[in-house]
Amino acid sequence: MWKTWEHLSRQSNAGRGNAVLPAPTCRLANGSSAAPARPIQSYLASFAASARVTNHELSAWTHPHRFNALKPVAERRTRAVLWITLVAMVAEIVAGTAYNSMALLADGWHMSSHVLAIGLSVLAYALARRYADDGRFAFGTWKIEVLGGYTSALLLIGVALAMVIASTERLLDPTPIRYREAFVVAMLGLIVNLVCAAVLAGKHEHTHGHGHEHPGHAHHGGDQGDLNLEAAYIHVLADAATSVLALIALLGGWFLGWAWLDPLMGIVGALLVASWAKGLIAQTGAVLLDREMDHPVVAEIREVIAAFAVEGQTRITDLHVWRVGQGAYACTVSLVTHDPLLTPSAVREQLGVHEELVHVTVEIERCCTESADTK
């Protein structure tokens, strides 16, 4: 390529004095044209400009990638619930062993599944906090919390399945129930879960401000709360619900002789737990798989871009939106335009009306040109 350009230049100087030939083009294998290689002077100039840029302070063009605030209050509450549940579990297992009570032992080991799930929630908070500024996480560590919630939901499905199996066995092969002891255990379990629910009662913790509204623009950042804390909360509610159902079944069997009511309520409780777990899996799974393109914020982005589309001058060619924090979204958008004055900065400024968009990348392709303006 260089030899060809130099040869043509020599021919030009020899045959036409100092006349400048039109820039030659190279035919590629597919028949399309490509611009010639630039003279060495252009490369040297580009290198010099690059050297000047590298000496600049870049803080004005960069930002941290911690898109989700830490949640110390939620972490403390979840840790407190973990300790309460753990103490109750150990007490029931020890008492059941000492008094030879299968009811106490069964409830104690059942509570161990909730200790495991709530422990996962605590671990998720700790890991998200520890690696919050780790550069290996391109968009922060918030999804560690979401992953903790997803795993807890899967454990809830396992608990529901175990409840169905145990209850079905009791229906097919009834065994004598020690109603007095079982009632006391169910009541104690309900009290423990009510205490845990009270600890988690303030489960909505705001991570960043949306204290004002922009005319004509609704904020959708707070449409989902802390999914990790919600998982712990659902475990507590599930245990409380099964305790209430158990109390109803035990009273029916104790005073009315309806022994079948106990396993039946077990199945009803399992279906309730599975329903809650399914909803949590759907919420956390959507975040983990970046299924956000049906979110209202996507339509709002299109509305902003449409403001530039005067007489069809600017159109979206590619758009991606995903969640990077609680109520925080990242966006990459590619535009093709006839507007020579449109810049990525102007697009980002207009999108800035939506505070939930915390990381925006804009690419602009100009019609009839081969250049792209990106940042």
Number of neighbouring beta carbons within 10 Å of residue 37: 13
On the question of pLDDT at 338 being above 80, the answer is: yes
pLDDT at 358 over 70: yes
Q: Whole-number mean pLDDT of the chain?
A: 75
Bridge partners of 328, per DSSP, are: 325
In this predicted structure, the answer to whether residue 218 has a pLDDT above a threshold of 70 is no
Q: What is the per-residue pLDDT across 251-280, written as a single tens digit (0 to 9) for each?
A: 888 888 888 888 888 888 888 888 888 998
Distance set, CA 23 to CA 39, 43, 156 (Å): 11, 17, 69
Phi and psi at 365, nearest 5°, equal -105, 130
For each of the domains in the chain, give its residue range(s) and CATH number, in order of start.
2-54 (no CATH), 72-207+222-288 (1.20.1510.10), 296-374 (3.30.70.1350)
What would the mean pLDDT of 333-337 be, rounded to a whole number?
92
Q: Are strands 328-337 and 372-374 parallel, antiparallel or unpaired?
A: unpaired
Q: Is the pLDDT of residue 178 over 50?
A: yes
What are φ and ψ of residue 38, in 5° steps? -80, 150
pLDDT band for position 17 (50/70/90)? very low
Tens-digit pLDDT profile for residues 27-37: 433 444 444 44
Most confident of 60-64, 248-252, 282-286: 282-286
Higher pLDDT, 92 or 237: 237
What percent of the chain clears pLDDT 70, i.e. is strictly above it? Answer: 70
Structure tokens at 191: 């009290």
Residue pair 25/34 in contact by the 8 Å Cβ criterion: yes
Instruction: With a cut of 90, say whether residue 282 has pLDDT above it.
Output: yes
> How would residue 281 be classed by pLDDT, with cut points 50, 70 and 90?
very high
